[in-house]
Amino acid sequence: MSAADGAVRVCVETGRRLTFASALDWPGWSRSGRGEEAAIEALRAYTPRYLPVARAAGVKPPDPAGIEIVERFAGSASTDFGVPRRSRSWSASP
């Protein structure tokens, strides 16, 4: 499920060294970079891996052009180690 306008809902987790952009409605679609822009671009670049799965499931594929950041939060030492976490306020419903 994506936002009503077709955007991909994303949370951004920022540590001291790494930032993760994670698509809330697409499990496992999370990429890191050194800063928010780099993490979002890495997420966009990874889209082709999700297209066949979405099509096979009969779900509208994600549109990486429409990224909607719905949450930002501070990461921890785990973030800098390369392990994103989910926000406590995350919900599957828009």
Assessment of whether the complete model's pTM goes beyond 0.85: no
Closest CA to 74 of 11, 24, 25: 11
**Averaged in consecutive runs of 10 residues, what is the pLDDT profile of the chain (94 residues)?**
68 92 86 95 90 85 84 80 62 45
The pLDDT score that the predictor gives to residue 3 is 52
The pLDDT score that the predictor gives to residue 86 is 60
The pLDDT score that the predictor gives to residue 88 is 45
Using CA atoms of 86, 70, 90, 94 in order, give the dihedral in degrees to the nearest 10: -140
Residue 79 Cα distances to 16, 25, 74, 94, angstroms: 8, 20, 9, 25
